[in-house]
Amino acid sequence: MKKILYTLLLTLFIPLQACAQEQWREGTHYTIVGEEATAKPEILEFFSYWCPHCYQFEPLVKSIKEKMGKDVEFTKVHVNFMGFTSAEIQNDATRALMVARALKKEDAMNNAIFSYIHVQRSPVTGLKDLQNVFLVNDVEAADFTKMASSFGVNNMVQKNNKIIETYRKHLSGVPNFIVNGKYQAKFTRDMTNDDIVDLIVWLSKQK
């Protein structure tokens, strides 16, 4: 009896397992953009503070971080090639993000900058405007200025822009997700927010 029950469960499990594996299809839900996966799992989110879709994606980003494995590194990569404003101002926003990252205030300041642009509808004409966002969020002007020109932040900005160069040919717009250096997520119209989150988390588990 036990053997029969085990066989029955096994036959039920195999189709379910196959179904889970076939839910996400290459060409439809993701494309291959690299020959080999990174040694450690990583999710790169390419975004722009001026992009309304990126702003709307923020709750999904939070869900991805909550559902992804503890061994996965999630990195926001701020782009400078969108037409919302000049490349120089976009680079200033990248620098502001790196200051926030260096200060261990990335999540809070990321939300504050998005809110400044999309909720308050305030213009950003340069680094000075972004500094004001930090001042309102308890970061001293002197600390911001010192950090913004520091060797560490300069290196972080260069690293951010080098990542953009590496994947630039695959980035026609934002938000855009490159996972494990090998997979680029694709979103179809029939996908729910939960589907988008599950796809990116699933890709982070692929080699």
Report residue 9's pLDDT band, with 50, 70 and 90 as the boundaries: very low
The chain-wide mean pLDDT, for the chain, equals: 92
State the average pLDDT over residues 4-17. Answer: 47
Report the pLDDT value the prediction gives residue 5, as an integer from 0 to 100.
Answer: 46
Sheet with 73-78, side-by-side order of all strands: 30-32, 183-185, 176-179, 42-47, 73-78
Model confidence over 82-141: pLDDT tens digits? 999 999 999 999 999 999 999 999 999 999 999 999 999 999 999 999 999 999 999 999
**At what angle are helices 141-148 and 87-102 packed, to 10 degrees?**
110
Decide if 95 contacts 124 (C-beta within 8 A). no
Kindly state the percentage of the chain with pLDDT values over 70. Answer: 90
Report the pLDDT value the prediction gives residue 14, as an integer from 0 to 100.
Answer: 47
Report the pLDDT value the prediction gives residue 76, as an integer from 0 to 100.
Answer: 98
For domain 30-203, give the CATH number. Answer: 3.40.30.10
Sign of the dihedral through C-alpha 32, 34, 37, 38: negative
Model confidence over 144-175: pLDDT tens digits? 999 999 999 999 999 999 999 999 999 999 99
Sign of the dihedral through C-alpha 19, 24, 26, 29: positive
Model confidence over 188-198: pLDDT tens digits? 999 999 999 99
